[in-house]
Structure 1
Amino acid sequence: MVNINRLRPYQREVALAVLDSVFSKKGLTFSVEMARQAGKNELSAQLELLLLTLYMAEPQNLVKCSPTFKPQTVISMMRLKDRLNDAGFNGIWTAELGYIIRLVKARAIFLSAEESANVVGNTAHILLEIDESQDVSKEKYTKEFKPMGATNNVTTVHYGTTWDDSTLLEEIKQTNLELERSDGIKRHFHYDWQEVAKYNPDYLAYVEAE
């Protein structure tokens, strides 16, 4: 069973904004900064699970890229497979070519954003996700990943942590904050460790012990 209400409130806030953009075909680009171990990968997997379920009768793709194939992309694939099994799709979903997970007709395509990776030719119909966006080359994103969503005005989500002003994530973040001031639509989400600790006592205990 797919249920985003199982997500923590801060994860759910992002999920609802992303889903609204997807379903309304707004084509918004979001930036999501979360403290380490706050659950961004779980948020991503739950979004993928829900969208694959809703679009399973259609030959459409969602695309997720990570700075490296191993371990980051592989970890994302493993998490989605686990969530599909948890939702009762064990034996229904299939893996293809080592980087695709198919649910009936819908597909989640997992790609490396390494400079040497050949990714041109893929299309993102449903969603485009950029994991650890601060470690992805601006040129690689702009020339090879962003165009994947052009024909469908796809919704895009950048996840990560900004560590200096020159990163792709920081650039997307600053653009989003400027757009928010202009039209009031929230595109940037930031959750520090205090926000996470409100909903996870174990996380709070760990931080306080450091």
Structure 2
Amino acid sequence: MGTRTTPLDATEHELTLGVPEESEPAANSLDDQALIEDIISKIILVIDDLSGHPLRPYQLPLARRILESLITEDSAKITALWSRQSGKSETVADTVVGAAIMLPRLAKLFPKLLGKFAEGLWVGVFAPTDEMSETLFTRITGRLTSERAQDVLADPDIDDKLITRGKLLRLKRCGSHIRKQTAHPKAQIEGQTYHLVIIDEAQAADDKVLNKSIAPMLSSTAGTLCMTGTPSYTKNGFYEQIQKNKREANRKGRKTDHFQVDWKEVSKHVPRYRKFVESEKERLGEESDEFKLSYRLIWLLDKGMLVTSDRFDALGDVSMRVVQEWHRSPVVVGIDPARKADSTVVTVCWVNWDYPDEYGYFEHRVLNWLDLTGMDWESQYYRIVDFLNHYNVFAIGIDAGGLGDVVASRLRVLMPYAQIVDLKSDRTNQTKRWAHTMDLMSKGLVIWPAHAKTRQTKNWRRFRQQMEDAELTYQGPHIIVAAPEVDAAHDDYVDSLANALYLTADIAMPEAEMHNSPW
């Protein structure tokens, strides 16, 4: 490499210092984590040297997570939803090239941890069409054929050579190869084995091809799947995986597998990008479909979702925190009793009884939630009563039928001062409930706390996730709102909120003293 000093010059010494090969820790042990982090950091240094500039702060987490998943064999399904021209392809390409060069080399030093890369890193680059896959593959090819990469490959410690054959890039000595393939439904693509599969423009990928043909290519290697793209008008496997990754991130000890970068985040680090997008915003309009999809990362699913992320943010009051106690005016409460894996959720809503709008609708504000998970019902009753004693409860709405009947009967005994309302659960009555909820939200008459500290709480994160997950469907004259039929998706917070809101549609207004709103 001449006189130019690169991270490669120190990599082997630094990684092996104090960790001789014969004492290499067992893969995935607690002692191994520090070594894994060190390996990742050294590969990042190589990536930065190959590209000629460090990864930007918003690029680094995605690169590190891909490397971590490859090393730990956790078979992660990583999603990246980034605005157009934000450096997504560059990040993935740099990470793939750095890993293809370094992992086989490091496998000789740490055979227990990285032994599966002894014959190379195998990468498949897919997109819905062959033309789409060309974008990322060209970026990878350009990085591997660059002068910097050639210097690295010529280093005596690396001593490798790039061989290009149409849709295949191969490092001759270490065995790493990167193959471009299409994810088109009519393509015959079975038969390959990969450690890492990248699906670019995943919003347009065919779910059947992904699940039947592509994902099994990772089975024998416990490989990593990385899906990248931008929003669309319809749901698909990419959207569902994003939602799943967001839900899983709320669980204790789980890794972050979704990485979202909108134009504002990129603009903090790339002034020219801000300048261009600002001009596009003026040309297209901030509320245009094109700008929402390409730069604001908004899925345009209005006809199929109860509330979009954009609408959810609009209904949140960033100055409002949860209210732990309220006795100045009557509140309404909705309870969704737990069924099997679900949680019992109690939602308390303040109502502006004194100022209905011209149609008789009241403003509602969510004051607080109680989430009871994994608790027997005898204990739940008293937790609910204790929680609601902090509020001036006017009425409590509970789904009638099944467990709801039992809960309502018990609370009538424990809380004789409150109206316990049985809400029928047949489709006709559910339609009325959801129609009322949707009317209130469309008029901006449902508001929830969104203070920065509130947004950090587990209850708020679950509330947001379930509200944005809730699917809206029409079956004849009926409206049905429910969680998607996927693992870890629930609608307890959604049902609980709807039960509380419907109480103001069917119950006579209570007498309340005049008071100033605290908001």
TM-score by length of 1: 0.91
Partner of 2:171: 103
Per-residue CA shift, 1:128-185, capped at 9, x if unaligned? 1111111100111000000000111111111011224522210110111121122432
The 1:23–1:39 alpha-carbon spacing in structure 2 relative to 1, beyond 3 Å, is same
Name which of 139, 143, 146 aligns with 1:79: 139
Partner of 2:102: 54
Deviates further, 49-58 or 78-87: 49-58
Q: Is the 8 A contact 1:33 1:159 kept in 2?
A: yes
Deviation of 1:23 after TM superposition, in Å, equals 1.1
For 2:122 and 2:183, the matched residues in 1 are separated by: 17
For 1:209 and 1:51, the matched residues in 2 are separated by: 37
For 1:160 and 1:88, the matched residues in 2 are separated by: 27
For 2:233 and 2:266, the matched residues in 1 are separated by: 23
Deviation of 1:208 after TM superposition, in Å, equals 1.7
Q: Say how many residue pairs are matched.
A: 207
Partner of 1:153: 222
Q: Is the 8 A contact 1:133 1:158 kept in 2?
A: yes
Deviation of 1:75 after TM superposition, in Å, equals 2.4
Partner of 2:130: 69
Deviates further, 26-35 or 165-174: 165-174
SS of equivalent to 2:269: coil
Taking the TM superposition and a 5 Å limit, the aligned residue runs for 1:125-164 are 125=195, 127-164=196-233
Deviation of 1:54 after TM superposition, in Å, equals 1.8
Partner of 1:115: 185
Deviation of 1:88 after TM superposition, in Å, equals 2.7
Name which of 180, 197, 202 aligns with 2:272: 202
Taking the TM superposition and a 5 Å limit, the aligned residue runs for 1:39-50 are 39-50=87-98
The residue type paired with residue 109 of structure 1 is R
For 2:121 and 2:94, the matched residues in 1 are separated by: 18
Name which of 229, 247, 250 aligns with 1:181: 250
Q: What RMSD, in angstroms, separates the aligned Cα atoms of the two structures?
A: 1.8
Deviation of 1:106 after TM superposition, in Å, equals 0.8
The residue type paired with residue 79 of structure 1 is R
Partner of 1:191: 261
Q: Is the 8 A contact 1:31 1:189 kept in 2?
A: yes
Larger radius of gyration: 2
Deviates further, 197-206 or 16-25: 16-25
Q: Is the 8 A contact 2:47 2:97 kept in 1?
A: no
For 1:77 and 1:155, the matched residues in 2 are separated by: 18
Question: 4+ residue stretches of structure 1 with deviation over 6 A?
Answer: none
Name which of 164, 168, 171 aligns with 2:237: 168
TM-score by length of 2: 0.38
For 2:207 and 2:215, the matched residues in 1 are separated by: 10
Q: Does 1:7 align with 2:55?
A: yes
Deviation of 1:59 after TM superposition, in Å, equals 4.2
The residue type paired with residue 123 of structure 2 is L
For 1:74 and 1:118, the matched residues in 2 are separated by: 18
For 1:190 and 1:160, the matched residues in 2 are separated by: 10
Q: Percent identity?
A: 27
Per-residue CA shift, 1:108-136, capped at 9, x if unaligned? 011101111111001112x1111111110
The residue type paired with residue 79 of structure 2 is S
For 1:59 and 1:53, the matched residues in 2 are separated by: 8
Deviation of 1:37 after TM superposition, in Å, equals 0.4
Deviation of 1:84 after TM superposition, in Å, equals 1.0
For 1:137 and 1:73, the matched residues in 2 are separated by: 14
Q: Which runs of 5+ in 1 are unaligned?
A: none
